[in-house]
């Protein structure tokens, strides 16, 4: 009687094998994930915004739980802003997009009120850096009111901490 051999478990290819060395040389956090088609993988860049990069480098906090807490707060702020009718500013046009207040749904109006309450809880001095980094995707050191570029990340950590305390994250 012939012996039935079990097939070896298939290991997914590495990210470097899928995209090549040119995509991994700049410190991007690339991960593979499954698609709807069986056996097909796609590569996803986990460092698309500055908040993602700060999280990946553990610059928000050295403690993993606190780092995750601040990152989740920033992502929740962006999701709330997007649900309130905002879109990320792109370089395709030079006009600033101002979300219209007319003809909005009740859900958008509720999200906009929640966003305004969150910004009020953070305060007038700290809320602009949240918009600059979490919503616009800019670097914290490029925030215009700073006199010292190295202080941008510290101000961002303070603002995210205040917002996390407001939301009790």
pLDDT (0 to 100) of residue 31: 73
Query: So where are the chain's domains?
Result: 15-45, 50-89+103-167
Note the pLDDT tens digit of each residue in 115-158.
999 999 999 999 999 999 999 889 999 888 888 878 899 999 99
Return the closest-CA partner of residue 155 out of 62, 60, 47, 48: 60
Residue 99 pLDDT more than 90?
no
Residue 60 pLDDT more than 60?
yes
Note the pLDDT tens digit of each residue in 16-33.
666 666 666 666 777 777
Note the pLDDT tens digit of each residue in 71-95.
999 999 999 998 888 765 555 555 5
Residue 114 pLDDT more than 80?
yes
Residue 44 pLDDT more than 80?
no
pLDDT (0 to 100) of residue 41: 77
Against a cut of 0.85, is the pTM above it? no
CB-facing half-sphere around the CA of 29: CA atoms within 13 A: 13
DSSP labels, 50-116: HHHHHHHTT-S-SSHHHHHHHHHHHHHHHHHHHHTT-----SS-SSPP----TT--HHHHHHHHHHH
């Amino acid at each position: 009687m012939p012996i039935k051999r079990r097939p070896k478990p298939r290991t997914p290819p590495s990210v470097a094998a899928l995209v090549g060395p040119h995509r991994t040389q700049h410190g991007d956090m690339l991960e593979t994930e499954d698609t709807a088609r069986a056996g097909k993988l796609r590569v996803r860049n986990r460092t698309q915004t500055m908040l993602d990069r700060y999280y990946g480098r553990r610059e928000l906090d050295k403690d993993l739980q606190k780092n995750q807490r601040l990152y989740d707060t920033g992502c929740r702020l962006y999701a709330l802003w997007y649900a309130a009718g905002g879109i990320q500013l792109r370089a395709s046009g030079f006009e600033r997009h101002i979300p219209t207040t007319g003809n909005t749904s009740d859900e958008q109006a509720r999200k906009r009120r929640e966003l305004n309450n969150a910004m009020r809880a953070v305060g007038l001095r700290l809320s602009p850096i949240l918009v600059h980094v979490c919503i616009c995707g800019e670097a914290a050191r490029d925030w215009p009111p700073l006199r010292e570029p190295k202080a941008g990340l510290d101000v961002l950590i303070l603002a995210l901490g205040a917002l996390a305390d407001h939301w009790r994250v």
